[in-house]
Structure 1
C-alpha cells in the first residue's frame, strides 16, 4: 500500500471481527515501532504484547473495564484479540544524557523542556497504528486510566521504571458503516496549521 494511502486510511477502530491476528504481523508492528526516532538513540521504550484470550481479559479487568458500568465503547474495544502496551523509561533518557558524549554531567530533569521519553514512545505507537493499516488491520490507541495503573502493573509485573504511554488494540476490522464523526471532524483542520509567526489567520 502506498504511504499516502496508509495515512489517509488510518483511523481509530473500536470494534473487531472474531478473527485471530497472525503473530508475524504483530512482530512486524513491533519491528517498525523500534524504527521510530528517539533522542540520543536511547530507545528507552518497551512493548508489552498481550495476544492470548487470558492476557487480554486480564488487561481489561486490571484497567477497570469490569467495574459493572455498561460502556458501549469498551464493549467494542474488548473484541480485539491483541493489545499492545507501549511503555517508556524516563530513567533510560536521564542516564543516556549523563554520558560523556552528550556533555551533561548529571541526570537533572530541568534540562528537558519536553519529556522526550513520552514523545519518542508516542511516535513508536504511531508506527504500530500505521503498520496495522498497511497490513489490512484495524487498531486504536487509548489511555490507561490513572486510577488503575497500579492494578495494571501488578497484573503483568510491570516495573516502576517503565510507565505505560497508552495501549493499542489490534484486530481485523468489521465491515465499516462509514466514516466516523461529523463532517467537520472529517475535514482537514487548517486552523491548526501555522506557518512562520503564530497567528490566528492561516493561509491554506
Structure 2
C-alpha cells in the first residue's frame, strides 16, 4: 500500500472478529515498532502482547470489571484476539545517558533532568508504527488508554515497577458486520493545514509559517 493511502485509511476499529492472527503477520507488525527512532538508541520501550482469549482475558479482568462488561458500548472490542500494551522505561534512558559518550548531557543524573521525557516520545513512535503496520496488513486497530487501571494491568502482566503506561492497542481482523459506531469525537473537523482565511476563527492552522500565528 502506498504510504499516502495508508495514512488516509488509518482509523480506529472497535468491532473485531475473534479470528486469530498468524504469527508471521504479527512479527512483521512488531518489526515496524522495533525500527522507530530512539534517543541515544536507548530502546526503552516494551510491548507486552496478549494473544488469544486465555491471555486477553487477564487484561480485561484488570481493566474492565465483569460487572461493567454487560453495558460496555463496544462489545466487539472484547473479542479482539490480540492486545498489545505499550510501556516506556525511563531507567533505560537514564542509564544510556550516564554512559561515557553521553555524560556531558547531564541526562544520566535521573529522569528529572529531562525537560522532554523521550521515553514517552519514542514509545509513542512505536505505538504509531504498530498501527500503520497493522493496517498495512489489512488488520484493524484501536489505540486506547489504560488510565487509572494501569497499576492493576501492570500487576496482572508482571510489568516491572517504574515502567510508564503509554496505552493499549487492540489488533484484529475488522468485523464487516459490526456496527462500527464512531467515537464521540469522530465528528470534530480537522484543523486547516495553513491559515487560508477560510477556516473558523476558533481553529488555528496546524502549520505556522515563519512564526506561531494563533
Same topology, TM > 0.5: yes
Q: Kindly tell me: are residues 90 and 28 of structure 1, through their superposed partners in 2, closer, same or farther at Cα, counting changes over 3 Å? A: same
Task: Tell me the CA shift for residue 117 of structure 1.
Answer: 0.4
**Which deviates more from structure 2 when the two are superposed, residues 171-180 or residues 40-49?**
171-180
Alignment-derived partner of residue 161 in structure 2 = 160
CA RMSD after TM alignment:
2.1
Q: List, as ranges, runs of 4+ consecutive aligned residues in structure 1 with deviation greater than 6 Å.
A: 176-179
Pairing 1:191-202 to 2, within 5 Å after superposition: 191-200=205-214
Distance 1:179 1:135 in 2: 23
Distance 1:174 1:80 in 2: 10
SS at match of 1:140: strand
Alignment-derived partner of residue 196 in structure 2 = none
Distance 1:109 1:156 in 2: 24
Alignment-derived partner of residue 144 in structure 1 = 146
Contact 1:13 1:140 in 2 (8 A): yes
Q: Kindly tell me: are residues 178 and 110 of structure 1, through their superposed partners in 2, closer, same or farther at Cα, counting changes over 3 Å? A: closer
SS at match of 2:109: coil
Contact 1:89 1:162 in 2 (8 A): yes
SS at match of 1:95: helix
Q: Which runs of 5+ in 1 are unaligned?
A: none
Q: Kindly tell me: are residues 149 and 136 of structure 1, through their superposed partners in 2, closer, same or farther at Cα, counting changes over 3 Å? A: same
Distance 1:188 1:104 in 2: 37
Task: State the aligned residue count.
Answer: 196
Distance 1:157 1:136 in 2: 31
Alignment-derived partner of residue 5 in structure 2 = 5
